[in-house]
Chain A
Amino acid sequence: MAGGRRGNGLAGVLPIAISAALFLYFLAMIPDVAASGALVIHWQWVPSLDIALSWRLDGLSLTFALLISGIGTLVMLYSNSYLRGHPQYARFALFLTSFMLAMLGLVLSDNLIALFVFWELTTITSYLLIGFGHETPKGRRSALQALFVTGAGALAMLAGLILLGRAAGSFELSDILRMGPEIRAHEHYTAILILVLAGAFTKSAQVPFHFWLPNAMAAPTPVSAFLHSATMVKAGVYLMARLHPTLSGTDAWLWSLTIAGAVTAVYASFKALSQTDLKQALAYTTLMALGTLTLFLGQQSGYAITAFATFLIVHSLYKAALFLVVGCIDHATGTREAEVLGGLARAMPITAAAAALSALSMAGFPPFLGFIGKELKYAGALAVASEPMFVAGAVLLSNALMLAVAGVVAFRPFWRRNEQPLPRAPHEAPWPMLAGPVILAILGALFGLWPDLLQTTLVDRTVQAVTGGDLEAKELKLWAGVNMPLILSIATFVLGLLLYAVHRPLRRGLQAFFARMISLDGRWDGFLDAVKGLSAWQTRTIQNGRLQSYLTITFAVVLVTLGGTMLARQVWPAAPEVGEVRWSHIAIVLLIIGGTLLAAFTRSRITAVAGLGVVGIGVAMVFIVFGAPDVAITQLLVETLVVVLVAVAMLRLPFLDRKGESDWRPGHLLLGTALGATVTAILLAVLETPLDRRLTDFFETASWPEAFGRNVVNVILVDFRALDTFGEIAVVVIAALAAYALLRTTAGRRP
C-alpha cells in the first residue's frame, strides 16, 4: 500500500516526474526536428537478424511523442488524486507508466520488429489497465476482449511486417520509406496491405472490429482518457500514417481506408448519440475520430493529410480533456448518466468552463482549433479525387452528430436545470484533477487563435513525414474567406443544433434501432465458448487415454520424420553390396530373424520367451564373431537374466490373449514393416558414408600410454568415460531400488 489515506507517496509522484521530464525533452527537440526533418539513432540489438533498436524522430513521431508524454503527465497528475489512497495505486502507476513508455517506443521505433515488440507491449499493458478492476466479471471480460482482438490483429500485422521487410530487403523504416514504388509493385503488396491493415484496424477499432473499444471503458476514467485520446487506439492510425509513403496511392489502399473510415465515423457518431452514459458516449466519439483519421489517411491530397495532422492534435486535446471532465463529474456526483445530471455549473464552475471550451472545440466552433480542424476536414474531403461527395457527406454527418454529442456530454450536465436529485452533492474537484482539463482546453483555444504555433512546429513536419515529403502542408487559418468549407461548416452548425434539439427522441429511436442490429459483441461469448469446445474436443481426440493410439502416433511421427527426411534429401542407398559372407554369418542372422518372428507372432508365452532368448544369444554371437568379446559376455549375462525374470514373472501373470481372441493386427504390422524398412535404409545409407575414425584412433593410441590398459573397450568405460559409466551404474541401482519398492508394497489392494 502506497501512502494509505494521505496520498500515494512516491508511486504517485514518480510517474508524474518521469512523464514531465520526457515531455520537456521532446519539447526541446522541436527546433531540431523542425530544422532537419528526421533524426535517426541506431543501437544494435540482434545484429544477426537485422533487428536494431533504432529510433526515428520526425514530425509524425514527435507529434505523437508530445501528445503521449504531455497528456501522460496530466493523466498521471489526475490519477494521483482520482485514485487517492487506492490500495493498489503503485501497481496502477507501474502499469500506466509502462504503457506510456511502450507507446513512446512504438512511435519512435525506426525498426519494424522493434515497432512490433512495442506494439505488443502496449497490448499487454493496456490489457492490465483495462482489467485493473479485475474483481468484476465485466472488467475481466473487457480486458480479455481487448487483448484477443488487438492481439490477433497484431499477429497478422507481424506477418505483414515480415513480408514488408523481406520485400524491402530491410527492416529499417528509413529504408522502407524510400522504397514506395518498389513495394507497391511487389508481388506480395496485397498480402502486406491486408495483414498490416488487419493489425491497424483492430488496434484502432475500425468497424467491424470496433466492439472492444466501448467495452474497454471498464477501465478507470484516467486510463480511458489516456488510452482513447492520444495513445493506444491511435497506434493503428500511427502505423497507417507511418507506412503512408510506402503503401498508399493504390486503389486497394484508397478504398479500404476510405470505406472503413467513413463507415466507422458515421456509425460511431450515431452510436455516440444513442448513449446515456457520458463515458460511453465519449468512447463512441473516439471511434468516430479514428474513423475520420483513417478516412483522411486513405487520401493523397495535401488538404487531406493536413486535415489528418491537425485533427489528430485537436482530437487528442479535447478528448482527453472531456474524459477527465467526465471523471470529475463521476467523482463529484457518483453518476455518469446524462438523464440524471444537471445544474453542475454552480457547484463546479472550473470544470464547467473547461468542459465548455473543450466541447466548443469538439463541436468545431470558431475560434477554437476544432474549427480549423473542421474546415480542413471539409477542404480535405472536397479534394478527394475519387468520391468527394461521399467523403464530404460522411464528414458532414459525423461532424453534425459530434456537435450534438458535445452538447449532451459537456453542456447539458452543467447548464440545464437540475430535475432529479444527484446521488451525492456535487463539489469542485481538487486542483490536480482540474489541471488536465483546464490546460488541454486552453491549449485548444490558444492554438485556434494562433494556428502558427502548431503549423511551423508540428503540422508541417508531420505532413512531410506522412506524405514522404511530396506535398506541402496547407495553411492553418481561422478565416479563409467565403468558400465551400465555410458553407459546409455553417450547414454543420445548423444540422448539429437541430440534432441537439431533438436528441432525446432521436436517442430513443437509435437505441431501438441498434438493439435490433447484429452485434459482434453479443457473439463474442459464443465465439469464446466455441473455441473452448474445439480445444476440449481436440484434447479428447488426441489425448484419449489409450496407450495404443499414443504409441501409434509416436511411431507414425518417427516414420514420417525419418522417411520424409530421407526422401527430401534424396539419400536412398544404392544397391546394397553383400560382400564377403560366410555360412556361419548367415546362420547367425537366420537365428536372430527366426527368434524375432517367433516372439512376435506366437500366442504362447513360453515360446515368446524362448524366441527372445534366441534373439539375445544370436546378437551375442554377432558380438563374438566381430571382435567384441566383452560386449558378448555382458549380452549373454543380461539375456539370461531377461529370460529368467520373464519366466519367473509369468508364474503369476495370465496368458497373453484371452480365450478365443486373436492378436492379429495388420495395420500395426504395416506400420512396423514400414518403420523397419526405413531403419534398414538409413543404416545402409550410413554404411555408404566414410567412417570417421578420429575418436577411435585417439582411444587406440592413448589407451596404453595415458591410461595403462591394454583392453581398449575397458579403458574407455572405466577411464575416458568413467563418469558416464558411473551414471549408468546409478541408473541400474535406481531401477533396482524402484523395482524393490514396487514389489514390497502390499499386493492386492485395489483402488
Chain B
Amino acid sequence: METLLAVTVGILIGAAVYLMLARNVMRFIFGLVLISNAANLIIFTAGRLTPGAPPLIPEGADAPADVVANALPQALVLTAIVIGFGLFAFALVLVFRAYATLGTLESDRMRVAEPDEGAAP
C-alpha cells in the first residue's frame, strides 16, 4: 500500500505543479490545495502505515499494548492541515480581492507593481 500511495503522491504533485503554472490564479489555488494534500500524504506515508490501530493507550496501561500507528507523523500532519487551510483561505480571499480590484484572474495582466515593458511608468 505504501508503494501505491507513493505513486498517488507523484500524481498529486504532478497535477498540482501543472495547475500552479496556469495563467488563471484560480487554478493556482486548486494546485495549492492539491500540493498541501500531497505533502500531508508524504509525511503520513513516510512514517509507515499501520492499518486499523490508532495510537491510543488502553485504560490501566502505561503504553499502547500492541503495535499501533505512528503517532508522530499524525501530529505533524494535523498541524500541517490546519496551517494549509489558513494559507488556502488567505490566498482565496487575496484572489477574490484582486479580481474585485483589477478585474482579471490572469496573473499576466496583474501588473500594478511591475508594469509591462513599453508601458513603463
| A and B held together in a complex | yes
* Residues in chain B near residue A577, CB distance under 8 A: 3
Q: Is the CB of A622 within 8 A of B41?
A: yes
CA distance A608 to B14 in the complex (A): 16
Looking at chain B's contact residues, is the secondary structure mostly helix, strand, loop, or mixed?
A: helix
- Residues of A in contact (CB 8 Å), total 102
A250 contacts chain B at the CB level, 8 A cutoff: no
Instruction: Write out the residue numbers on chain B whose beta carbons fall within 8 Å of the beta carbon of A646.
Output: 29, 92
Q: In the assembled complex, which residues on chain A have CB atoms less than 8 Å from the CB atom of B74?
A: 628, 630-631, 713
A578 CA to B69 CA in the complex, in Å?
19
Q: Would A687 and B18 count as touching, CB distance under 8 A?
A: no
Given contacts A696-B71, A700-B64, A739-B89, contact A750 B101 (CB under 8 A): yes
User: Least Cβ distance of A418 to chain B in Å?
Assistant: 61
Q: Is the CB of B18 within 8 A of A626?
A: no
Asked whether, in the complex, the Cβ of B24 is within 8 Å of the Cβ of A700, the reply is no
Q: Mark A667-693, 1 if CB is under 8 A from B, else 0.
A: 011011101110110011011000101
Interface residues of B in 7-21 (CB under 8 A from A): 7-21
Q: Are A680 and B7 in contact (CB under 8 A)?
A: yes
Task: Kindly provide the distance from the CB of A588 to the nearest chain B CB, expressed in whole angstroms.
Answer: 9
- Does the CB pair B21–A548 fall under 8 Å? yes
Chain A contacts for B41, CB-based, 8 A: 619, 622
Instruction: State the Cβ distance, B118 to closest chain A Cβ, in Å.
Output: 12
Cβ–Cβ contact B5 & A628, under 8 A? no
CB distance from A27 to the nearest CB of B (A): 64
Given A646-B92, A732-B85, A739-B89, is A749 in contact with B97 using a C-beta cutoff of 8 Å? no
Q: What's the dominant secondary structure at chain A's contact region?
A: helix
- List chain B residues, Cβ under 8 A from A745: 97
A272-280, A337-345, A399-407, A720-728: which lies at the interface: A720-728
Most interface-central of A593, A673, A679, A691 (chain B CB within 10 A): A679
> Closest CB-CB distance, B29 to chain A, in whole Å?
8
From A638, A669, A696, give the contact of B82 (CB < 8 A): A638
Which of A203-211, A252-260, A318-326, A703-711 faces chain B? A703-711
* Contact code string B77-94 (vs A, CB < 8 Å = 1, else 0): 111011111111110111
Bound-state CA distance A169–B49 (Å) is 53
Residues of B within 8 A of A581 (CB): 1, 4
A654 on the interface (CB 8 Å rule)? yes
A589–B5 CB distance below 8 A: yes
Q: How far does the Cβ of B60 sit from chain A's closest Cβ, in whole Å?
A: 10
Q: Is A699 at the interface (CB under 8 A from chain B)? A: yes
> Complex: how many Å from CA A262 to CA B118?
54
Q: Which of A583-639 contact B (CB under 8 A)?
A: 585-586, 589, 592-593, 596-597, 599-600, 605, 608, 612, 615-616, 619, 622-623, 625-631, 634-635, 638
Q: Tell me how far the C-beta of B58 lies from the nearest C-beta in chain A, rounded to whole angstroms.
A: 8
Contact of B14 among A576, A675, A725 (CB under 8 A): A675
Across the interface, B107 reaches (CB within 8 A) one of A547, A628, A634, A673, namely A547
A593 touches B34 (CB 8 A): no
Report which of B1, B63, B92 forms a contact with A580, defined as CB distance below 8 A: B1
**What are the interface flags for B35-56 relative to A under an 8 Å C-beta threshold, 1 for contact and 0 otherwise?**
0011011101111111111111
Q: Does chain B have a CB within 8 A of A695? A: yes
Task: Evaluate contact between B5 and A656: CB separation under 8 angstroms.
Answer: no
Partner of A712, one of B34, B71, B85: B71
**Pick the contact of A686 from B46, B71, B113 — CB < 8 Å?**
B46
Cβ-defined contact, B79 with A638, below 8 A = no
Once the chains are docked, how many angstroms separate the CA of A520 from the CA of B110? 46
Q: Note all chain B residues with C-beta closer than 8 A to A605.
A: 26
**Contact pick for B55, options A608, A673, A700, CB 8 Å:** A700
A425 at the interface (CB under 8 A from B): no
CA distance A731 to B80 in the complex (A): 11
Contact among B13, B25, B55, B97 for A672, CB-based, below 8 A? B13
A264→B91 CA distance, assembly (Å):
65
- In the complex where A547-B108, A736-B89 touch, is A671 in contact with B21 (Cβ < 8 A)? yes
A645/B89 in contact, CB under 8 A: yes
B92 / chain A contacts, CB cutoff of 8 Å? 645-646, 649
Cα(A608)–Cα(B27), bound, Å: 9
Smallest CB separation, B42 vs chain A (Å): 6
Instruction: Determine the chain A residues whose CB is within 8 A of the CB of B95 once the complex forms.
Output: 649, 653
Nearest-neighbour CB distance to chain B for A444, whole angstroms, equals 63
What are the residues of chain A within 8 A of B84 when measuring CB–CB? 638
Chain A minimum-CB-distance residue to B20: A551
Confirm or deny: A481 has a beta carbon within 8 angstroms of a beta carbon on chain B: no
**A701 x B63 contact (CB < 8 A):** yes
Asked if A656 contacts B34 (CB within 8 A), the reply is no
In the complex, the answer to whether A749 meets B101 with C-beta atoms within 8 Å is yes
Tell me whether A612 and B75 are in contact (CB under 8 A): no
Min CB distance A551 to B, Å, is 6
A743 and B97 contact, CB distance less than 8 A: yes
Q: In the bound complex, do residue B15 and residue A600 qualify as a contact, i.e. CB atoms below 8 Å apart?
A: yes
Check B93 against A631 for contact (C-beta < 8 Å). no
A542 contacts B by Cβ under 8 Å:
no
For residue B59, give the distance in angstroms from its CB to the closest CB of chain A.
7
Structural contact, A627 and B55, CB atoms closer than 8 A: yes
A619-B37 contact, Cβ under 8 Å, with A579-B1, A600-B18: yes
With a CB–CB cut-off of 8 A, which chain A residues contact B3? Answer: 576-579, 684, 687
Q: How far is the CA of A748 from the CA of B82 in the complex (A)?
A: 31
Are A712 and B64 closer than 8 Å at their CB atoms? yes
Residues of B within 8 A of A700 (CB): 55, 57, 63-64, 68, 71
Contact B108 A548 (CB under 8 A): yes
Are A679 and B34 touching (Cβ within 8 A)?
no
A673 and B21 CA atoms in complex are apart in Å by 13
Q: A680 to B29, alpha carbons, bound, how many Å?
A: 23
CB nearest neighbor in A for B49: A626
Tell me if A717 counts as interface (CB < 8 A to partner B). Answer: yes
A585 to B29, CA, bound (A): 28
Q: Given A627-B53, A656-B26, A691-B47, do A597 and B15 touch, yes or no (CB 8 Å)? A: yes
Which residue of B is nearest A685, CB measured? B6
Q: Pick from A645, A654, A704, A717: contact of B75, CB below 8 A.
A: A717
Chain B residues with CB under 8 Å of A676's CB are: 9-15, 17
Contact between B87 and A677, CB atoms less than 8 A apart: no
> Looking across the interface, which residue of chain B has its beta carbon closest to that of A673?
B14
B9–A656 CB distance below 8 A: no
A665 at interface, CB cutoff 8 A:
yes
**Contact, CB under 8 Å: A612 / B56:** no
Across the interface, which residues of B come within 8 angstroms of A46, CB to CB? none
* Residue from B24, B87, B113, B116 with most neighbouring chain A CB atoms (10 Å): B24
List 20 additional contacts besides A546-B107, A634-B81, A679-B38; criterion CB under 8 Å.
A555-B20, A579-B3, A581-B1, A599-B34, A628-B44, A628-B54, A630-B78, A654-B105, A672-B16, A680-B6, A680-B10, A683-B10, A693-B70, A696-B47, A700-B68, A704-B61, A711-B56, A716-B75, A728-B82, A750-B101
Jot down 16 A-B pairs with beta carbons below 8 A, ordered by A: A546-B108, A555-B20, A589-B5, A612-B34, A616-B37, A629-B54, A638-B82, A638-B84, A641-B89, A656-B24, A700-B57, A700-B63, A710-B58, A712-B56, A748-B100, A749-B101
Which residues in A have some Cβ–Cβ distance to B below 8 Å? 540, 545-548, 551-552, 555, 576-581, 585-586, 589, 592-593, 596-597, 599-600, 605, 608, 612, 615-616, 619, 622-623, 625-631, 634-635, 638, 641-642, 645-646, 649, 652-654, 656-657, 663, 665, 668-669, 671-673, 675-677, 679-680, 683-684, 686-687, 691, 693, 695-696, 699-701, 703-705, 710-713, 716-717, 721, 724-725, 728, 731-732, 734-736, 738-739, 742-743, 745, 747-751
Query: 8 tightest CB-CB pairs across the interface, nearest first?
Result: A676-B14, A627-B69, A680-B10, A545-B114, A672-B17, A735-B86, A547-B107, A676-B10
Q: Which residues of B contact A (CB under 8 A)?
A: 1-30, 33-34, 37-38, 40-42, 44-59, 61-64, 68-72, 74-75, 77-79, 81-90, 92-97, 99-103, 105, 107-108, 110-114, 116-117
